[in-house]
Structure 1
Amino acid sequence: MQLLLFIFFNSFLFSNGSWETDFNKAQQSAKTEHKLILVNFSGSDWCGPCIRMHKDIFDGNSFTQYATDHLVLVNADFPRLKKHELSKDQQKKNDELADKYNKDGIFPLTVLLDPNGKVLKEWQGLPPISSEEFTTEVKSIVDANN
């Protein structure tokens, strides 16, 4: 029973402000919903700053609440452990996205894009700010582009 509650609770949590893994779908949603796209390049099982960024910034209440209504989120993950290996199709999509927006292979790299894919802002590495400060920075860019 506890396992079922855990699964239900986590699926509910991630349904709000959830991260898309297909950039083309995200871009279509952004155009339809008139939202900006936030892409995060991450190494979820080997990159300490990437893990901290998700925990300290993206999982923060202020970011989660804001992102749900104003952003389309894309997670381009590059795990190294075999147990976290992506499907060949997903790996290809992530590689193509990195070829376009993360040519230098920086982790973490977060890029804010307009619905057409134009880069509006880029954060290299883990920003030395709180989730609230990051959200405020993103909000100012969103507001300037509406």
Structure 2
Amino acid sequence: MNKFFLIAIALIFSMVSVGAQEWQTDFEKAKEIAAKESKPIILVFQGSDWCAPCIKLDREVWSTETFKTYAAAHYVMLQADFPRKKKNALPDQQSKANAKLFETYNKNGFFPFVVVLNAKGEVLGEASYKKTTPEKYITTLNSFIK
């Protein structure tokens, strides 16, 4: 009885994790995955602990089951976070990597800022926060992909 219960729990967790999107934080790894899987990269600049529109975009789009399921199959998600609170500080190496991405792709300093890239890191399109549904946001992102 206990073995059956443990197997059932393991199966449930494995099914849940299959549909979950995975956020990358390493640009080179994201490009590698994008090239291997023929997917675009969705680079998200956010201030997770201070930027109200960033928090809304996360809650209204990124964290929804609709978006997570779609993204897992169609995108490589890359996060460049810029938290301000000391308790949320990133490791120095990650902060430097995010700053480099910021200098390259977010010259105007917008938050949130979403950049759609190909596997070579070339910009296909840009978006930001707007009050919309996950489905419509997916349509916006897909409109940049040729």
TM-score (ref. length: structure 2) = 0.84
Gaps of 5+ in 1: none
Report the Cα offset of residue 131 of structure 1: 1.1
User: How far apart, in 2, do the equivalents of 1:90 and 1:58 lie?
Assistant: 21
SS for the counterpart of 2:48 is: coil
Establish whether residue 69 from structure 1 lines up as the match of residue 69 from structure 2.
no
SS for the counterpart of 2:93 is: helix
User: How far apart, in 2, do the equivalents of 1:30 and 1:19 lie?
Assistant: 13
Gaps of 5+ in 2: 1-8
Q: Deviation digits for residues 82-125 of structure 1, max 9, x if unmatched?
A: 0000111000000000010001111000011111111111013x
User: How far apart, in 2, do the equivalents of 1:78 and 1:14 lie?
Assistant: 28
Aligned length: 133
Q: How does 1:20-59 map to 2 (within 5 A)?
A: 20-59=24-63
The answer (yes or no) to whether the contact 2:49–2:84 under 8 Å persists in 1 is yes
Choose 1 or 2 for highest CA Rg: 2
Q: Percent identity?
A: 39
User: How far apart, in 1, do the equivalents of 2:76 and 2:54 lie?
Assistant: 19
User: How far apart, in 1, do the equivalents of 2:18 and 2:94 lie?
Assistant: 19
In the other structure, the counterpart of 2:88 is 84
User: How far apart, in 2, do the equivalents of 1:13 and 1:118 lie?
Assistant: 30
Greater displacement, 130-139 / 22-31: 130-139
TM-score (ref. length: structure 1) = 0.84
What residue identity is the alignment partner of 1:35?
Answer: K
Establish whether residue 137 from structure 1 lines up as the match of residue 134 from structure 2.
no
Establish whether residue 108 from structure 1 lines up as the match of residue 103 from structure 2.
no
The answer (yes or no) to whether the contact 1:46–1:79 under 8 Å persists in 2 is yes
Distance 1:20 1:14, change over 3 A: farther
